[in-house]
Chain A
Amino acid sequence: MGNANTSPGRREGPLLIAGRIALFVVALVVGLSFFVPFMWQVLMSISEVADVDLLTKTVTPPEANWENYPRVFNHEQIEFGRYFFNSFFVAGWVTIIQVITCSMAAYAFSRLQWPGRDKVFLGYLGTLMVPGVVLMVPTYAIVRYMGMFNDYTGLIIPVSFTAYGTFLLRQFMLTIPTSLDEAASIDGAGHWRIYSQIILPLARPGIIVMAIFAFLFNYNAFFWPLIIVKDENLRTLPIGLLAFNTSYGQETPLIMAASLMAMIPPVIIFLVLQKYLVKGIQLGAVKG
C-alpha cells in the first residue's frame, strides 16, 4: 500500500526508538530472571560441596568439577539410573495407553452419533474442573484395594485416562471431514477400520501433541508417584532427586547435576517437536 507522505527509507521517530529500548530492557530483565537460576544450577552442579554460596562470590567457579556427573550414577545408596529407567518406563506406558484410550474416546465423541453424546462429553470435560488433590485420597484407596499399591501398575493405570487428552483429540478429529468416514463405510469399512485406518492416521498431528503433553506431564509427575510408591526401586526421577537430601547431608551439587540430566529428555523432546507443541496450544485455544 502506497502512502503519499512516506518518504523512502522511512525514519523512525524518537518515541519509537525509546519504545524499542524499553522493550529490550524488559525482555532482558525477564530473560535474565529465567537464565540466572539456570546458570546457578549449572555452576552449582560443577562445584565442590563447600562452595554452595558460590554465586555471591564469583561468576566463574574456581575450578570446574565435572566429577559430580558420574558420581550421580555411581552413588552407593542411590540408583539414579534406575530412577531414569522408571521415569521413562512409567511415562512411556502412560503415554501409549493414553493415546489409545483418549483417541478411542475422542472417536466416540466426535465421529459417532449417539443420543446425549455432547452432554456426556460436557460431563466428562467437567471432571477437569475438579482439583486433582481432591481425587487423590479416593484414587489412593481404590488403588490399594485393587492391589496396585507400590507397583508399576499403580503408577501407570490410574493416570492413563484423561479428559484433557480426550478433549484435545476430539477437537482435532472434529476438523476431519465426515465424508471420509462415509466414503470408508461405503467402501466396506466398519468402525474399527475407520478408526484405525482413516481417523488415526489423519489425527496424527493431534496425537503427537497429546503424546508429548502426556509424556512430559508424567515424566515430571511428583505427587502421585510420591504417595503410591514405597519401594526405592520404583522411584521415578522427581522423587529420586530427593534422595540426595539424605541423612548423610544435603548434597546440593549432586542434586543439581542430577536434575540437569533429568531435564535433558524434555528439552530434546521440546526442541525436536516444538512445531507440534505450538500447534497443540493453539488447538486448545480455539476450542469450539
Chain B
Amino acid sequence: MAEVKLDHVRKVYDGTVVAVEDFHLTIKDGEFVVLVGPSGCGKSTTLRMVAGLEEISDGTISIGDRVVNDVLPKDRDIAMVFQNYALYPHMTVYKNMAFGLMLRKLPRDQIHTRVEQTAAMLGIEHLLKRRPKALSGGQRQRVALGRAIVREPKVFLFDEPLSNLDAKLRVTTRTEIKNLHQRLKTTTIYVTHDQEEAMTLGDRIVVMSEGKVQQVDTPLNIYRRPANRFVAAFLGSPPMNFIQGKLEESEGGLHFMDGQYIDLTLPGEMASRVASHKGKAVTLGFRPTAMSETAEGKFAGPGNSLTLQTSVVEPLGERIDVSCTSSTGGHLVARIEARDDFPVGDRVTFHLDMSHVHLFADGEFGPNLVHPSA
C-alpha cells in the first residue's frame, strides 16, 4: 500500500494536443479515488500515466516515496483492471491469475495458495480450469479483478471496469468492488464516465473536463457544493436544473430574474455573497429535489415560487419526475412526492428550497458564486 502523488502532471500529444493539464493531487494511502468526466476529458490518460503505459510530458508521479516517471510499468508494483478485461485468451483462468506471480518468480506452491485464496474470495474457484472464452461477462470481470488482487500490489488501477456489464450486474459488482476495497485497503484509482458509479464508490471524486481538474472532494461535498456549472451539471441524476438570468436589486433585496416571469428573492446570506455580481448575467441552478408543490417547511416563501408548463410525468414509486418547460423555453425536471392526479400539460407553480439554490457565473465552467471554492 502506498500514497500516490501526482505533482503538476501534464500530457501533451504530438506537441500540440493537451490531454491532461496540470493535474495535481495526492491520493492517500488506502484511499479510493474516482476520476470521472465525459469521454475525452483526460481521465484515462491520467490513469495510464500512473500505470506507466503513457509517458508524462511534464510533472512527476510518485508511488510511495519513489518518483516513477521513468520506471517501467512492471516495476511500479501496480495492478490494473481494463475495460475489456484484457484476459489472455489462450490461458486458463488459473494461468491468467498466476502469470504475474510466475514472472515474479514466486515459488510454485505459494502461487498456488494465493491463486486459490483469491479465487475463493471472488467465488470463481470452479472456473480456474476454463479459458476466458467459456466465461460470461461477469465471470470475466471477476477473473480480471482476481488477476489484479492476487498480485497484492501497492495500487489498484481500474479503467472503466464495469462499462461492459449489464445494468444489474454493474450494480452488484460495484458493491463488491467497494467491499473488496474495505477489506484490502489498497490505494485505488478508478476511472469511470458514470457519475453514479463515481458517487457510490469514491472516498473522493476528481471531476475532470477538457483535460483539467474541475473539482476534487468527497461525493457529498461535490453534490452539495459543486465548484462550477460543469460539475453541477455532471453529477446528480436527474441532472441539476439551470435557468439563465440576471441579478437585480429591487424592493431592498437581491432578486434573480429571467426577464420574463421568474423572479426569485435570494435569502439574506446568499444575497450578500453574490452582491458583487449585481446586474450581471448569472445561471441559477437547483436540483430537481429542491422543488415542491407545497410551500411548507423549507419550501415556504415568499419569493421562491416559479410557474412552469408541465409536459411529462414519470412515476418512480415514492416520487415522480415531472418534466417542465420554463417561460424562456428551458427544460427542467422536478422530483416531487408522488400523487396520482398530477396535472400534465397545465401550468403548475413550484416552490424552491432557496437554501439549496446555486448561482453560477456565466459560461459552461462558470464558478459557483454561492459556494466559491477555496
Contacts and interface: CB of A to CB of B under 8 A. Distances in A.
B88 A182 contact: no
Contacts of A97: none
A183 B86 contact: yes
A193 B100 CA distance: 12
B86 A180 contact: yes
A190 B104 CA distance: 12
Interface in B95-137: 99-100, 103-104
Contacts of A188: 74, 100, 103-104
Contact of A185 (B73, B79, B83, B104): B73
A186 B74 contact: yes
B103 A193 contact: yes
A158 B74 CA distance: 39
B78 interface: yes
A186 B78 contact: yes
Interface-centre pick from B83, B87, B100 (highest chain A CB count, 10 A): B100
A186 B51 contact: yes
A55 interface: no
Contacts of A184: 88, 99
B240 to A, nearest CB: 35
Interface of A: 177, 179-180, 182-190, 193, 198, 201-202
A182 B103 contact: no
A80 B165 CA distance: 63
Given A179-B82, A182-B53, A182-B82, A187 B90 contact: no
A177 B82 CA distance: 11
A278 to B, nearest CB: 22
A201 B90 CA distance: 7
Contacts of B99: 184, 187, 189
Given A185-B53, A189-B74, 5 more contacts: A182-B86, A183-B82, A186-B73, A188-B100, A189-B99
17 contacts: A177-B84, A179-B82, A179-B84, A180-B88, A182-B51, A182-B53, A182-B73, A182-B86, A183-B80, A183-B147, A184-B88, A186-B73, A186-B78, A186-B80, A188-B100, A189-B99, A201-B90
B89 A187 contact: no
B72 interface: yes
B176 to A, nearest CB: 21
A179 B53 CA distance: 10
B18 to A, nearest CB: 20
A179 B80 CA distance: 10
Nearest to B151: A187
A288 to B, nearest CB: 20
Contacts of A187: 74, 99-100, 103, 147, 151
A161 B84 CA distance: 35
Contacts of B83: 179
Contacts of B151: 187
Interface in B58-100: 72-74, 76, 78-80, 82-84, 86-90, 99-100
A188 B103 CA distance: 6
Interface-centre pick from A188, A201, A202 (highest chain B CB count, 10 A): A188
Contacts of B76: 186
Contacts of B79: 186
A190 B80 contact: no
Contacts of B86: 177, 179-180, 182-183
A193 to B, nearest CB: 7
Contacts of B87: 183
A180 B74 CA distance: 14
Nearest to A189: B103
A179 B89 CA distance: 12
A222 to B, nearest CB: 38
A182 B53 CA distance: 7
Contacts of A190: 74
B90 A202 contact: yes
Q: What are the 8 closest A-B residue pairs judged by CB atoms, nearest first?
A: A187-B100, A188-B103, A179-B86, A183-B86, A188-B74, A201-B90, A179-B82, A186-B73
Contacts of A183: 80, 82, 86-88, 147
B154 to A, nearest CB: 12
Contacts of B104: 188
A173 B24 CA distance: 37
B88 A185 contact: no
Contacts of A186: 51-53, 73-74, 76, 78-80, 100
A186 B53 CA distance: 9
A183 B73 CA distance: 9
Contacts of A177: 84, 86
A229 B74 CA distance: 51
Interface in B282-298: none
